[in-house]
Chain A
Amino acid sequence: MSRSDGRRERGRRGRRFAPAAPAVILAAALAAAAAGQTARPSAPIPDPGFAPGWAASGPPRTFTGQDLFNQIDGGAELFLEFGFFRLRLQAYAKGGAELTLNAYEMESAQAALGVYLMKKGRETPFPEIAARNSSEEVQATVLKGRYFIQVDNLGEVPASKAELAALANMFLAGVADEPAPSPLDLLPAAGRVAGSERLIRGPFGLQPYITLGEGDILSLGGRVFGALAEYRVPGGVAFTRLIVPYPGPEAAAAALARLRAGLDPYLKVTAERPEGFDFIDFQARKGSVALSGPNLDLRFNVTD
């Protein structure tokens, strides 16, 4: 089976789930991205001419799909969950300096955004890099289109910031800008902690925040992106909020039922309602789940 077969599978999926307005937009974007990916060539790996004196160090390496485990055994799950297509690596050397380009090609711009938000930490951009980035002297973390990129600067002698940026920019020049429609706009602005926004597409992304149950407990199914952020509101209350837009009210209701039935045993339900329930976790922090049209609105890790 060729890679293009894989693209077609994703396109088919995108067309299948698109009844509700937000989901229509998301699914259409996903399908378009997937279809476009089939036709559009991958961004070229830069030749060593990005800066004087540099030479390629070893052959390029490529990891496709599940082969990502070969590169980051134990760390591939998050990429795969968000929708990973291919990782290409190329190392460059100049004397004792070494730069390594890690170009993760995701299945969509939204998938790339999801990974970037998880990996960016406190966002510290290098203005020299011509795309959204969060960078340190030893590693630049960059987002553009459907690419999540890291440039490692870990040689015995550090490359200059200008050289690091030059490599990143040469690669970025071949990357098409793509919109990354996402449900982040569903998150109310009031009280939202800047920089805490995340996309959730499955259990690995959710893992650091809460364990709601086994497996795909939110019925995301690899199709639905949820939006998560931390909140601090007047009075000192802090909580994490996750809003998941399903294809429609029925899907959301089914997801609620599934969540309730499979709720993690460390969460104790304290109140039941037709449209949701309240709970406390093992640390006695409060939480709630509420059905709102096609959305599930979850609040947890509530601290007063």
Chain B
Amino acid sequence: MKRQPYRSMPPENAVGRRDFLKAGGAIGAGLVLTGRSLLAAQQAQGQQPPAKPAGPPPKPKTNIEDALKVPKTKWSLPGPFPGRVVEVHDPAAMPEGKVDAAVVKAMFEKGIRGLTGKSLEKSFGLFFTKSDVVGLKVNPVGPGLISTRLELVDAVIDWLTSCGLPRRNVIIWDRFDYMLKDAGFTPERYPGVGIEGLQTMDEAAAIAASEGKAADNSKWLNADGTHVSVPNFDQEVFYWADVEGPKDLPYLNQHVFNGKFSYFGKLLTKKLTKIVNLPVFKNTGNAISMATKNIGYGAVCNTNRLHQPLFLDVCVEVPAFWPVRDKMVLNVTDGLRSQYDGGPDKNAKFAYIDNRLYFASDPFALDMVCHTRIVAKRKEMGVAVNENPRFTNYLRYAETLGLGVADPAKIAHVKV
């Protein structure tokens, strides 16, 4: 497969976290700098910002070629319905801001039938077998406002189990265990269903470190200096990028590893046989943070280092690896309550009840449809939006890799 030289969205901030830490290393171990402080540090050392831009910084090298070498399977992206996106709207889904579970369940079932053109039971067979172990990748950020609705997860579980999948073969998962709990994904709420964070993070230690206090790292840091969640990641399966992770302990606490490797969770490589991706309809800056970002930044560790130099590329290149490409068979974007600005964190000023769910086996077509919709919503609400193609180039990049469809002319956006 030919690939064009590409970068989806060059970094627009000249000073990245990596640079902060490099500068920190130059003027004092353990120094944590903001961008402004870095500038001050440069000045203190007699340096001045460059007089002229050096041109677009080259995209850091990655091991995307390794991903492409692995032969595809019958389950591989873009799945059985490339370029097909089904949108279900029911104004009764969120009366007075509260979810009507029965309506959401009906919307879900309508969406599945609309996507496949088949009954729920036959649709199940297009994506799963009864022996599969199915991971539901939720987005727990912004609980109470814009995290994945519990009732949508209920609808997915009901469908899977009604078609013969044992309840114990369903696992709700995300990167962080504490975020799942905060968002209501608890064993009490979902009896018999697995709930797994790929990693833990000791917030108390993070807080102490950030306050300059002596941190008790014993709950997350082993005596040999490794994170207790290291065994949760598969060091044989990784996304490599020529970008070092910061070496400070708070970063390690949050990211488990801090080198150039972002390992896939063993949950994905060893346990799950299928994945259903359940992102939320929201923005991140001028771009979107939906299907491809939910999985791209959710499936691997050591991701903060990637935001700056590879931001949207990660949304393509991580899903190109077999643990996602060959297992993520279905995506349902939760647009019951959506957010068109102020994301990816919750921001009530820009959140609105939209009563929609979006279905696709092809996450890139899905994101293109949702990107178009969020642009329209921002315009409708008088919020600035930059339609520079660089913010969707990553979706076209995915199309060149054969992972999905990004050309609007080839996308079938069906409203049912």
Q: Does B129 contact A (CB under 8 A)?
A: no
Q: Which residue of B lies closest to A195 (CB)?
A: B382
**Structural contact, B39 and A75, CB atoms closer than 8 A:** no
Which residues on B sit within 8 Å (CB–CB) of A211?
12, 386, 388, 390
**Structural contact, B35 and A80, CB atoms closer than 8 A:** yes
How many B residues are at the interface, by size bracket?
A: 35 or more
Q: Given A9-B37, A203-B13, A282-B388, A74–B344 Cβ distance below 8 Å?
A: yes
Q: Does B57 contact A (CB under 8 A)?
A: yes
Among the listed stretches A135-143, A169-177, A183-191, A288-296, which one makes contact with chain B, having 4 or more residues with CB under 8 Å of it?
A135-143
**Structural contact, A9 and B347, CB atoms closer than 8 A:** no
Q: Given A2-B212, A258-B51, A203–B12 Cβ distance below 8 Å?
A: yes
Q: Does A162 contact B (CB under 8 A)?
A: no
Which residues on B sit within 8 Å (CB–CB) of A119?
342, 347, 349
**Mask: chain B, 9-48; 1 = CB below 8 Å from A; 0 = not:** 0111111010010000000101111111111110110000
Give complex CA distance A154, B145 in Å: 7
Which residues on B sit within 8 Å (CB–CB) of A105?
none
Q: Does A6 contact B (CB under 8 A)?
A: yes
How many Å from the CB of B37 to the closest CB on chain A? 5
**Structural contact, A217 and B53, CB atoms closer than 8 A:** yes
Residue from the set A71, A207, A230 with the largest chain B CB neighbour count within 10 Å: A207
Give complex CA distance A144, B330 in Å: 46
Give complex CA distance A219, B182 in Å: 41
How many Å from the CB of A168 to the closest CB on chain B? 14
Q: Which of B283-319 contact A (CB under 8 A)?
A: 284-286, 289, 293, 297, 303-304, 307
Q: Does B383 contact A (CB under 8 A)?
A: yes
Which residues on B sit within 8 Å (CB–CB) of A258?
51-53
Q: Does A59 contact B (CB under 8 A)?
A: yes
Give complex CA distance A196, B196 in Å: 44
Q: Does A67 contact B (CB under 8 A)?
A: yes
Which residues on A sit within 8 Å (CB–CB) of B121?
none
Q: Does A66 contact B (CB under 8 A)?
A: yes
**Structural contact, A202 and B35, CB atoms closer than 8 A:** yes
**Structural contact, A64 and B13, CB atoms closer than 8 A:** no
Give complex CA distance A57, B55 in Å: 50
Among the listed stretches A10-18, A45-53, A271-279, which one makes contact with chain B, having 4 or more residues with CB under 8 Å of it?
A10-18
**Structural contact, A13 and B34, CB atoms closer than 8 A:** no
How many Å from the CB of B156 to the closest CB on chain A? 22
How many Å from the CB of B101 to the closest CB on chain A? 15
Which residues on B sit within 8 Å (CB–CB) of A214?
10-12, 14, 53, 55-57
**Partner among B40, B212, B347 whose Cβ is within 8 Å of the Cβ of A13:** B40
**Structural contact, A213 and B53, CB atoms closer than 8 A:** yes
Q: Does B244 contact A (CB under 8 A)?
A: no
**Structural contact, A208 and B40, CB atoms closer than 8 A:** no
Q: Which residue of A lies closest to B142 (CB)?
A: A154
Q: Given A214-B10, A258-B53, A62–B43 Cβ distance below 8 Å?
A: no
Which residues on A sit within 8 Å (CB–CB) of B203?
61
Q: Does B385 contact A (CB under 8 A)?
A: yes
Give complex CA distance A63, B341 in Å: 23
How many Å from the CB of A240 to the closest CB on chain B? 7
Q: Given A72-B344, A120-B349, A216-B49, A62–B211 Cβ distance below 8 Å?
A: yes
Q: Does A70 contact B (CB under 8 A)?
A: yes
**Structural contact, A261 and B12, CB atoms closer than 8 A:** no
Residue from the set B15, B143, B289 with the largest chain A CB neighbour count within 10 Å: B15
Which residues on B sit within 8 Å (CB–CB) of A67?
32, 206, 209-210, 250
Q: Which of B139-171 contact A (CB under 8 A)?
A: 141, 143-145
**Mask: chain A, 98-120; 1 = CB below 8 Å from B; 0 = not:** 00000000010000000000011
Q: Which residue of B lies closest to A141 (CB)?
A: B349
**Structural contact, B383 and A208, CB atoms closer than 8 A:** yes
Give complex CA distance A167, B204 in Å: 24
**Structural contact, B28 and A1, CB atoms closer than 8 A:** yes
How many Å from the CB of A86 to the closest CB on chain B? 8
Which residues on A sit within 8 Å (CB–CB) of B15?
216, 222
Q: Given A208-B385, A214-B55, A254-B51, A75–B345 Cβ distance below 8 Å?
A: yes
**Structural contact, A66 and B51, CB atoms closer than 8 A:** no
Q: Does B389 contact A (CB under 8 A)?
A: yes
**Structural contact, A134 and B387, CB atoms closer than 8 A:** no
**Structural contact, B145 and A63, CB atoms closer than 8 A:** no
Q: Does A223 contact B (CB under 8 A)?
A: yes
Q: Does B82 contact A (CB under 8 A)?
A: no
Q: Does A204 contact B (CB under 8 A)?
A: yes
Give complex CA distance A152, B145 in Å: 10
Q: Does B404 contact A (CB under 8 A)?
A: no
Which residues on B sit within 8 Å (CB–CB) of A204?
12-13, 285
**Structural contact, A266 and B384, CB atoms closer than 8 A:** no
Q: Given A215-B11, A216-B14, A222-B35, A62–B210 Cβ distance below 8 Å?
A: yes
Which residues on B sit within 8 Å (CB–CB) of A203?
12-14
Which residues on A sit within 8 Å (CB–CB) of B10?
214
**Partner among A155, A202, A230 whose Cβ is within 8 Å of the Cβ of B13:** A202
**Structural contact, A207 and B37, CB atoms closer than 8 A:** no
Give complex CA distance A234, B390 in Å: 33
Q: Given A13-B39, A262-B55, A221–B342 Cβ distance below 8 Å?
A: no
Query: Top 4 A-B pairs ranked by shortest CB distance?
Result: A154-B144, A139-B348, A215-B14, A121-B349
13 contacts between A and B (CB under 8 A): A6-B34, A62-B211, A65-B37, A74-B307, A74-B344, A81-B13, A121-B342, A154-B144, A204-B285, A219-B49, A222-B39, A254-B51, A266-B390
Interface residues of A (CB under 8 A from B): 1-3, 6, 9-10, 12-13, 16, 59-67, 69-75, 77-78, 80-81, 83-84, 86, 107, 119-122, 134, 136, 138-139, 141, 152, 154-155, 202-204, 206-211, 213-217, 219, 221-223, 230, 240, 254, 257-258, 261-262, 264, 266, 281-283
With A69-B307, A262-B52 already in contact, 9 other A-B pairs whose C-beta atoms are closer than 8 Å: A12-B44, A69-B304, A70-B206, A75-B345, A78-B285, A80-B35, A121-B341, A141-B349, A208-B383
